[in-house]
Structure 1
Amino acid sequence: MEKTICASAALYELDTQMGGVYRSLVKASPQAQPELKTAQRGWLKTRDQCAADVDCLDQRYRERLQSLQKQLSETVAYKPLDVDKLAAEDLQQAIRTASNADPEFPMERALELLAIKTGTSRFSDVEDEDASEDEAHFPTTIPKGVTKDEWKALTASKIEGASESGKSSYTLMDLDGDGRRDLIVDTYAGGTGLFSYIETYRRTGDVFVRRTNSLGAESSSSSSLLSLNDRGANQSLDWINLRGRVYAAYRSSYYGVDQLYLLNPLEVTGAVPIVTVHYRYELSVPKIQKDEASGNSITLDNALHEALIQALGKVSKTEAKDIGEQKEPICPIPPSGEGDGDYYGYGPGHYTFEIVGDMPVIIGGQCYIGRMVDWFGNYSAKDGLGAQLVMRKPDLEDTERSYQVNGKRRMTDVATSVGKVEGDNGG
């Protein structure tokens, strides 16, 4: 058995990783050592059944490593203290107060007041003049605003490895109140979701140590504090101060709701305080629409405009209701029953938008299948809610038409809770 493992570089690496994670888990949960040792002995017996089968051993090791890493992550994950819950209540009250003056943007106004505006320094990867646009590297000379002591620690910590998956920017900020600035790394990786990954490093002695260092090398290289998806989600990050503590305020939004998670920036994320803001919309259809194909403006006739407004009356004003195919047909099915599957829903969606709801649109006595979509509650001071109403004849192809929908929102409620972070690929 040992000869087979030592003869395979891949198995030897897995064995080393598993041993490191197991020792970290035993150290992190001394009260559970008897159970851990019993489970490990049981796994060793299962592993030994593979004999010299390399593929079997590889599978056993990967399964065990994944299980141990999950246990370790749950064991060392930060658990909210009373002060964290009080911080969430403070933010809740700040949002409620801001809503009195600005019911459209109460969360944004509260975050502006709490934002950390001083004591930070920022710099970015440097592009070589003769390199392609996508090639950049960690600075080789001390950036502006970075002290000599910090630069020495940065170079000693080999932080340049953080930018291997994309171009990175760096922020020095005191995240734990010890008087020494820690490091925030924001790496744009692109991809289908135009992802950015945020990770933090604690200043410890003469180096910066990654937040997930306690989870072992494998976890440290594959996890982040949080990720931001710029296509297929509506997310943002603010660094705020509440009760003398720094929080990464991670927002993930949908139609009618903002979820704001308060992350302890230097800890492994477990359950976190959550502030949830609910809104109600007043929806409307502009009579003057912009034709997407030509870019020209068109004016809707009165009958069509009224039909679209009537259709919006069947849409929820507070939450998205993507229920898939409905139990009853949206439009009457013809006596022939031909194509009856087209009558129960608009059809599949797409990851780049959010389905708010399907409804009938009646124009001149004809029934169209309608659907309102938005971009995950994306909202601006200029345009309000950005949304569309699309419609099609249920039994004909290439009949889709789309119309701009506007929405003005007002906050209806703000609440606090504790739970897991959703809508994020970090760790």
Structure 2
Amino acid sequence: MYIKGRCIVSACAALFVQQAMAAGMDCTKAANVVENTICASKELHELDAQMGMVYRGLMKASVQTQPELKRSQRQWLDTRNECAEDVSCLDQHYRERLQLLQAAWKAAVVFKPNDIDKQVMDDLQQRIQAMSKKDPEFALERTLASLSIKSPLTTFYAESDDGQYSEKTHFPKSSPKGVTQSEWKAMQASNLDADTELGQTTFNLLDLDGDGQRDLIVQTYTGGTGLFSFFETYRRDGDRLTRRTAALGQESGIGSSLYSISDRGANQSVNWISIRGKVYAAYRDSSYGVDNVYLLSPWQANHLVPKLTIHYRYQLSIPRIQPDDEHKTTYKLKPDLHRALAQGLATVGEETSDSGQERKPMCPIPPSTTDREEYYGYGAGYYAIEQVADFPVIIGSECFIARLNNWFGTYSAKDGLYAQVTLRKPGAIDQERDYKVNGRRRMTTISTSISKPGGGAEE
């Protein structure tokens, strides 16, 4: 299954505190001097609530250490109680203990690939290799699709605020279609409005852990030059939803996300897959000739993850019939131009032994030129397009410099590689010409490793 947030620090911090306060000390049952002192201070009460949230999270995340954790917590409570009505003493003890618990929680929730994760990585490698014998172009896509989570998906959106020109959105005021009463109550209890403050927000309900209760994937579109969308997960925990980064504390609000997708200047996507009883966000970050797939844990901080790297070889060609986008028609290349472009394109990907040798111009440099550099390569590119290679094209007695561009390995069954050759003559002004390139790929190699996440999957 393919599903295409990030939030400002103040919103995330508020959400964290509100979630913690809901699980904090019940001041109506304060039974001694220390508890009354804590309940009389907003700051102390918030610290106590945060500690309760972190403590319970650590108990769930590290079952093996529960006895020692309980013992140390009782010991700390005895020490805390010695502060009695001393607010500064209580504040210091809470902050010191909270810092220790948060550090332990962070360590407990960091994804540490184990033997099962390595077996998953090997299984995927073998499945993709087997699939490549049937479909060498789309072995990766077909393999990931076959492992997609089968849980039903419900998607709904943040609603616009009142007012014709309002750009703000808010969490829906009534239960969207497809959301159960239990899910609606859990979402209402989790203050998800905080995730609608930065951009257009989409909510996706999907059972990510196979416990029969659907979890939440929040997508926040923030735009910018890269047309970014950020994705974060919330786990269904009884009568509420808990953000993946809750273990990291309030500071996690600054740019925190499980992954992000750029719709300009990248080719990225995610498949939610289930294999060997585990669920991963298979985050794909592509470029010309290579797919990098990072297997992200949906509930942990992903510092080191299983990674698959798939390499492709392309058969490139220049169609004789070219599109004329300006006039919405087509035209036919002249034989000498078509031949020259095909000969130049054939050099792309060739191994060279020029390493360490003097750089040579691609076209002869006239003695009268004032800019010698433009004869050595095509020049600056545009960030939203991937520059693959520069090469000379000789048409009759004239030398041109060409560049093969593509959109970060974007590929389809109908069109193959989405690419073009841009041609210019050194020294000439405003004489660039673009030509469509066809490219069909075949998978050549696949390798595995444990690696830091790349692209927009960086923690």
Do the structures match in fold with TM over 0.5? yes
Shift of 1:339: 2.2
Alignment CA distance shift 1:207-1:345 (3 Å): same
| Residues 199, 221 of structure 2: 8 Å contact kept | yes
TM-score by length of 2: 0.73
Aligned to 1:193: 226
Count of residue correspondences: 363
Aligned to 1:103: 136
Which range moved further: 282-291 or 330-339? 330-339
Aligned to 2:267: 234
| Residues 281, 317 of structure 1: 8 Å contact kept | no
Q: State the AA in 2 paired with 1:259.
A: N
Query: Which protein has the larger Cα radius of gyration, Structure 1 or Structure 2?
Result: 2
- Identity over the aligned pairs, expressed in percent? 51
The answer to whether 1:343 aligns with 2:375 is yes
Aligned to 2:451: 419
Distance of 2:117 and 2:322 partners within structure 1: 47
Distance of 2:105 and 2:337 partners within structure 1: 60
Q: State the AA in 2 paired with 1:275.
A: L
Distance of 2:198 and 2:350 partners within structure 1: 41
| Residues 274, 416 of structure 1: 8 Å contact kept | yes
1:121 to 150, 154, 159: 154
Q: State the AA in 2 paired with 1:198.
A: F
The answer to whether 1:380 aligns with 2:392 is no
Distance of 1:182 and 1:202 partners within structure 2: 5
Alignment CA distance shift 1:414-1:425 (3 Å): closer
Alignment CA distance shift 1:278-1:121 (3 Å): same
The answer to whether 1:218 aligns with 2:218 is no
1:178 to 185, 195, 211: 211
Distance of 2:150 and 2:254 partners within structure 1: 30
- Cα RMSD over matched residues? 2.9
Shift of 1:124: 2.0
The answer to whether 1:152 aligns with 2:176 is no
2:390 to 334, 358, 372: 358
Aligned to 1:10: none
| Residues 283, 317 of structure 1: 8 Å contact kept | no
Distance of 1:206 and 1:343 partners within structure 2: 67
3-state SS of 1:222 partner: coil
Deviation track 1:85-119 (CA, whole Å, cap 9, x = no partner) reads 11121111221121111111111111111111334
Shift of 1:425: 5.8
The answer to whether 1:369 aligns with 2:401 is yes
Which structure would you say has the larger RCO, counting Cα contacts within 8 Å and 6 or more residues apart?
2
Q: What are structure 2's unaligned runs of at least 5 residues?
A: 1-42, 66-101
2:287 to 246, 249, 254: 254
| Residues 392, 401 of structure 1: 8 Å contact kept | yes
3-state SS of 2:316 partner: strand
Distance of 2:109 and 2:142 partners within structure 1: 34
Q: State the AA in 1 paired with 2:291.
A: D
Distance of 1:279 and 1:150 partners within structure 2: 44
3-state SS of 1:83 partner: helix
Task: Spell out the pairing of 1:19-34 with structure 2 (5 A cutoff).
Answer: none
Distance of 2:182 and 2:215 partners within structure 1: 12
| Residues 323, 331 of structure 2: 8 Å contact kept | yes
Distance of 1:163 and 1:424 partners within structure 2: 20
Distance of 1:407 and 1:343 partners within structure 2: 27
Shift of 1:236: 0.6
Alignment CA distance shift 1:338-1:401 (3 Å): same
